[in-house]
Structure formats: C-alpha cells, structure tokens
C-alpha cells in the first residue's frame, strides 16, 4: 500500500467528510514553489495554499524571524500581556492602508474572523444592521461570513437559514450575462424594496472575486459604490483576503481602481503560511468598538506577527509588486498562445490583474465544461503540477503560484499545464470515439 493511500485511509477514519481536500496527496516538505509528497514525488505548486504563499514555501527570512521569536516566547495573549511585534506590524500596516487619513489596525487569526470583525466595526460605527454583499463572493465559512458568501454549494448546504439583514447583489460579469447597469439597478431596487440605505451598515466586496472565478470588480462599480456609501453614511469594506500583499501587482487589489475603502480585511499571504489576519481601517471607524469588544485568544500570535513583518520586508526587498506583473505577463502570454490552438481543450476568458490569473474550460458552444476542468486538474497532478479550480460553474482554472518562483520553475509549470490541457482533450476524444 502506498504511503498516500495509507494516510488517506487513516484520514477517512478520523476526519469528517465536511472537511474536503482537493487531492489525496500528502505533503512531506516544500521550498519556494516546489513541494514533495510522502512518497518523494515532486510537484510545482500553482495553488500556493490558496493564495497564502505569495512569498513561497519556507522563505528563509521568514523562517529566521519566526525562530528568533520562538526563542523569546510563543504566546501571552495580547489581551493579557501585549508585545512589540503586534504593535510594530500594525504600525506598518497603517502606513500601507489604501486610503488617505489616519489608520488603525487590529489582528486576528483567520480571514473569516477578519470579515466578522469588520462587520462588527461597521455596525458599531453606524448603529445599523444591514450588510450588502455580492453573488459569487466568498467571505468565509462561519455563520455570519457564510451568509455573506454568495454561493450555496458547498458552503451553505445543510446549515440552515442565514442571519437577518444580509442582502446580495448580482456581480457584474460578461460571462454570467450581468452588466454593470444590472448590478447598480439591483442595488436601487434593493433600497426601494427591501432595506433603506440608511439602515445599511456596510457594503463588502472583493476587488477580484476569488472563489467566484477571479472576476475583477469593474472600477466603475467600485466608484459607484464609493459614491453611494458617501451619500448614505455606509462603510465600504474591501475584502483583500485573497487579493492582498502583491498578488495583483499592487499591495492591495483595490488600488487598481483608485477607490478608497473604509475598512480592509486581510489574511492569507500576510504571514507567509502562519495563521494571521486583520482589519485595517479609518481611525474613526476602528475606534467604534468598546474596550474588550475585539480580540481573540490566539489573535495576533507573536510568531505570526514576526512572520508578517518578514513578509513585508521580502515583498519590498525582492520587489514582488513588479515580479507579480512579470509573472502575470508570462502566464498570459502562454495562455493566449494556447487559446489559438486546437490540440488542447478549449479555453476562454483569460483574466485577472498581476499574477492573479484565471481562465475557463469551455465546450464547443462556449458553455462551462466542468468535466473537462476536472480532467485538466487531474492530468496536471499526474504531470506534477498542483492546480485549483473555482467559479460558480466550477470550470475556472486559477493560477496562484508563489511570486518568488524562479523563471525556470514557472516555465516548467506552464509546460506541465500545456500537457495537461492536451491530455484532457485526448481523453475526451478517446471517450467520445468509444460510443
């Protein structure tokens, strides 16, 4: 019995089915954009721990920072005995805030916690309850964030009715047949039919939808939301959990639009694989909670704070904002060449800023090809390439390789992707000819 299979059997006996994994492949070690499983097989990582590893696996500067902190202490609970790395990190985050004026930050452990606390702050600041989110958006799996998430399966199945005062708008996307006018019209209908804008605490949006299919929010939409929020005293929240920390070629995805949010939720690549999240916000909003209203036992772990400070150094020293643009250009060039070929499965809709790139697997009439997408991902794994899908139809391939990836490894990964796309077509044609 293989080591992977043995571990999979142990997993099935010990863990619930609700916790799913993309592949029955068990990691043993990893460095930068490469990892090896328990059987010694090498993979190129185009998933990045779902956008967590912008600075790669086990960056030596990040590991050194964590080791230094571990030699001092691992935990006190910031609410009991505070510590300098937490303060230093918040100071640096405040200088990076994608809005003008004074900023303050608070730290947590997960992206869902960051979103929950952003909503709490918006409600405390405005004295209102309502929250507006978007179809296809992903904001977490807790009861509140699951309600904000704009996709039923698998995130909401069997978990009951959502909390009150949460509303969804259609997200503008050509592939979904939704225009910007449709979205803004739906917002006005919402204000007329369901909730007055004076009862809305916040509008939350991902500058680029992650799980929803790597769909960039049009700048015109963000500008319109900013104006509406200003008119009605609504807090605009940019969920940068997946788009943050250089992935899009900017520190935060919303910077591409020129629109300034009021609160920014952060997590994933903030700490290079260590659990850390936070909210950066305008001081006037961040001060809305009473003492003790924010926090968590592990929130702002000193080890994770040390890692995050090193991550920010790496982003600056290795010029990862520019690197994201160069990586994105290379990926786009490869995909655009594949788009014109007939010896690979049909692809369309190449999109995304910086190195947050995605494309769709489609059928002969341009319809979502879910089966073809699964074939591509499996063939990629067979080639030694870790890929993930996303999107409301499950036919989007997203690429989230570390920004520290070498040119040689990136090129090798794209060649593996090319072979997977070709193998998926060959398998489809072979299957069709058998009937």
- Domains of the chain, each with CATH number or no CATH: 3-58+319-433 (3.90.1150.10), 73-317 (3.40.640.10)
Helices 302-317/84-96 angle, 10° precision: 40
Sign of CA dihedral 418, 213, 106, 264: positive
Residue pair 355/46 in contact (Cβ under 8 Å)? The answer is no
CA 200/CA 196 separation, integer angstroms = 7
Nearest-Å Rg of the Cα atoms of the chain is 22
Strand 235-239 and strand 200-205: pairing?
parallel
Within 13 A of 10's CA, how many CA atoms are on the CB side? 8
Of 129, 188, 138, 198, the C-alpha closest to 164 is 129
CA 277/CA 356 separation, integer angstroms = 20
Q: Give me the average pLDDT of each 10-residue run along the chain (435 residues).
A: 95 95 97 98 98 98 98 98 98 98 98 98 98 96 93 83 91 92 98 98 98 96 98 98 98 98 98 98 98 97 98 98 98 96 95 98 93 97 98 96 98 98 81 55
Residue pair 62/314 in contact (Cβ under 8 Å)? The answer is yes
Tell me what pLDDT residue 431 has.
58
Report pTM: 0.96
Of 108, 426, 133, 408, the C-alpha closest to 280 is 108
Contacts of 197 (CB under 8 A, 6+ apart): 191, 228, 231, 232, 234
Strand partners, 42: 36
Within 13 A of 335's CA, how many CA atoms are on the CB side? 21
Tell me what pLDDT residue 430 has.
61
Within 13 A of 435's CA, how many CA atoms are on the CB side? 4
Residue pair 349/335 in contact (Cβ under 8 Å)? The answer is no
Of 43, 64, 27, the C-alpha closest to 401 is 43
């Amino acid at each position: 019995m293989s080591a992977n299979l043995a571990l999979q059997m142990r997993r099935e006996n010990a863990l619930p089915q609700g916790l799913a994994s993309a592949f029955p492949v068990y990691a043993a070690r990893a460095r930068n954009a490469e990892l090896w499983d328990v059987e010694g097989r090498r993979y190129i990582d185009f998933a990045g721990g779902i956008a967590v590893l912008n600075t790669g696996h086990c960056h030596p500067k990040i590991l050194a920072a964590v080791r230094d902190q571990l030699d001092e202490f691992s935990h006190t609970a910031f609410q009991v005995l505070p510590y300098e790395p937490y303060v230093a990190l918040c100071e640096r985050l405040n200088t990076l805030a994608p809005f003008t004026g004074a900023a303050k930050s608070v730290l947590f452990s997960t992206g869902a916690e960051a979103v929950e606390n952003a909503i709490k702050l918006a409600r405390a600041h405005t004295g209102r309850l309502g929250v507006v989110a978007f179809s296809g958006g992903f904001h977490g799996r807790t009861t509140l964030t699951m309600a904000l998430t704009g996709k039923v399966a698998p995130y909401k199945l069997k978990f009951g009715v959502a909390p009150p005062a949460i509303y969804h708008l259609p997200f503008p996307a050509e592939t979904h047949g939704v225009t910007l006018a449709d979205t803004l019209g739906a917002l006005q209908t919402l204000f007329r039919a369901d909730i007055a804008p004076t009862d809305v605490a916040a509008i939350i949006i991902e500058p680029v939808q992650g799980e929803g299919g790597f769909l960039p929010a049009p700048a015109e939409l963000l500008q319109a939301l900013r104006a509406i929020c200003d008119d009605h005293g609504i807090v605009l929240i940019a969920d940068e959990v997946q788009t943050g920390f250089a992935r899009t070629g900017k520190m935060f995805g919303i910077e591409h639009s020129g629109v300034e949010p009021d609160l920014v939720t952060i997590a994933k690549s903030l700490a290079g694989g260590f659990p850390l999240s936070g909210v950066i916000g305008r001081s006037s909003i961040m001060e809305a909670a009473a003492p003790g209203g924010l926090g968590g036992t592990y929130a702002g772990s000193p080890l994770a704070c040390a890692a995050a400070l090193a991550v920010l150094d790496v982003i600056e020293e290795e010029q990862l904002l520019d690197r994201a643009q160069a990586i994105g250009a290379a990926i786009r060039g490869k995909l655009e060449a594949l788009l014109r070929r007939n010896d690979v499965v049909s692809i369309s809709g190449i999109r995304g800023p910086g190195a947050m790139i995605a494309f769709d697997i489609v059928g002969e009439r341009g319809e979502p090809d879910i089966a073809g997408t699964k074939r591509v991902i499996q063939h990629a794994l067979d080639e030694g390439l870790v890929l993930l899908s996303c999107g409301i139809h499950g036919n989007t391939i997203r690429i989230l390789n570390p920004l520290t990836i070498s040119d040689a490894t990136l090129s090798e990964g794209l060649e593996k992707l090319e072979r997977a796309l070709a193998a998926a077509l060959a398998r489809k044609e072979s299957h069709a000819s058998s009937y």
